[in-house]
């Protein structure tokens, strides 16, 4: 029964709380996805791009970028970087220069060694740089020296070559050209003795050459055998060196000069004529130790490998 004297309350009646349905689990309120940069509930927070990871170290990418920025912000560091880069470039260029020079020296020495039939060493002048010469195909100066064992069959003969203005250009008739070539040849008295003994059969001397002496004031050399002596004066003949007989002496024998001269001419022609590129004798002189001669050529075409195997592979 309602109390008539009861006062109405100011509060609104509250709705009864919903009761869970029988046999169903309680419902959880829907979850909204976290905003960008916010941690995901139930997962450990991930380090940011500039935050350290679990090991306490910052990410590699950010560390590298920071180091580069710090490096570029320091003028001294920039200078050091530039110096290091330049040093590496220079080292690479020098390495290529040395390799190219060594390769070219080997090729030129091989050609000369093939022509003279003796060991040879070649070198290019230090300036201009060899790489520039190689790119242009124009070589300014080449120096070559043989070992001095022999030139062809001439024992004890040595040559020093000065070659200038070499241009490589493959044509139907040549592999290039040589502006000038000067060859200084020395031939020792012992080398003359060995060569004559090996190659020449003189009528009253044969191969029994006991000694070779020189007379620089008279410009002659003497070939001494067991029973006779030939005195000869070196001369430039037919672009080669000839031994012109000036005197014959033999014990109890008499041979006309005209009989022996062709034998010596054939001998010297075999040694000093028919060089490639028109190389020829210009002068000859008798010294205390033997004979010296100057050979040369100008504006000569280098033969192709088919014509002269020594020039193959240029």
| pLDDT tens digit sequence for 171-187 | 888 889 999 999 999 99
Q: 272: exposed, middle or buried (C-beta count within 10 Å: 0-12, 13-18, 19+)?
A: buried
The packing angle between helices 75-116 and 60-73, to 10°, is 90
Instruction: Pull the structure tokens for residue 275.
Output: 């060089």
* Dist CA 216 CA 286 (whole Å): 5
Task: Tell me the range of 72-76, 121-125, 255-259 where mean pLDDT is highest.
Answer: 121-125
Is pLDDT of 54 > 90?
A: no
Q: Locate 263 and state its tokens.
A: 């034998």
Q: What is the pLDDT of residue 248?
A: 82
Is a pLDDT exceeding 60 seen at residue 11? no
Q: Please give the model's pTM, rounded to 2 decimal places.
A: 0.69
* pLDDT over 90, % of the chain: 34
- pLDDT tens readout for residues 245-288: 898 877 656 666 777 888 888 888 888 888 889 999 999 999 99
- Averaged pLDDT of the chain: 80
Residue with the two structure tokens 């100066």: 141
Residues 6+ positions from 229 with CB-CB distance below 8 Å: 222, 223, 247, 248, 249, 250
Q: What is the predicted pLDDT for the residue at 25?
A: 52
pLDDT at 217 over 90: yes
Of the candidate ranges 9-23, 73-87, 158-172, 174-188, the one whose mean pLDDT is the lowest: 9-23
Least Cα distance to 232 among 274, 283, 272, 192 occurs for 192
Question: Do strands 176-188 and 290-302 pair parallel, antiparallel, or not at all (unpaired)?
Answer: antiparallel
Which has more pLDDT, 62 or 142? 142
- Of the two residues 250 and 307, the one the predictor is more confident about is 307
With 80 as the cut, is the pLDDT of residue 129 above it? yes
4 pLDDT band (50/70/90 cuts)?
very low
Query: Is pLDDT at 123 greater than 80 in this prediction?
Result: yes
């Amino acid at each position: 029964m309602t109390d008539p004297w009861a006062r109405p309350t100011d509060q609104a009646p509250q709705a009864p709380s919903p009761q869970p349905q029988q046999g169903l689990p309680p419902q959880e309120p829907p979850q909204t996805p976290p905003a960008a940069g916010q941690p995901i509930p139930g997962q450990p927070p991930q380090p940011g791009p500039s935050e350290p990871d679990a090991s306490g170290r910052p990410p590699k990418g950010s560390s590298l970028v920071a180091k580069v920025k710090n490096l570029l912000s320091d003028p001294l560091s920039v200078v050091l970087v530039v110096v290091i880069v330049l040093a590496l470039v220079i080292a690479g260029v020098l390495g290529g220069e040395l390799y190219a020079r060594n390769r070219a020296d080997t090729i030129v020495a091989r050609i000369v060694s093939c022509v003279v039939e003796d060991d040879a060493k070649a070198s290019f002048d230090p300036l201009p740089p060899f790489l520039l010469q190689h790119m242009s195909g124009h070589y300014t100066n080449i120096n070559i020296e043989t070992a001095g064992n022999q030139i062809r069959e001439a024992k004890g003969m040595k040559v020093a070559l000065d070659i200038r203005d070499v241009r490589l250009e493959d044509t139907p008739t040549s592999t290039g050209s040589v502006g000038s070539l000067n060859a200084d040849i020395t031939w020792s008295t012992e080398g003359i003795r060995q060569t004559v003994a090996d190659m020449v059969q003189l009528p009253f001397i044969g191969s029994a050459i006991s000694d070779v002496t020189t007379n620089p004031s008279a410009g002659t050399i003497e070939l001494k055998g067991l029973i006779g002596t030939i005195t000869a004066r070196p001369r430039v003949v037919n672009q080669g060196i000839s031994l012109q007989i000036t005197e014959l002496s033999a014990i109890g024998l008499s041979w006309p000069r005209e009989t022996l001269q062709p034998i010596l001419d054939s001998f010297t022609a075999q040694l000093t004529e028919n060089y490639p590129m028109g190389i020829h004798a210009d002068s000859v002189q008798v010294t205390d130790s033997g004979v010296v001669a100057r050979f040369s050529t100008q504006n000569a075409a280098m033969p192709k490998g088919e014509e002269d195997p020594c020039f193959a592979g240029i």
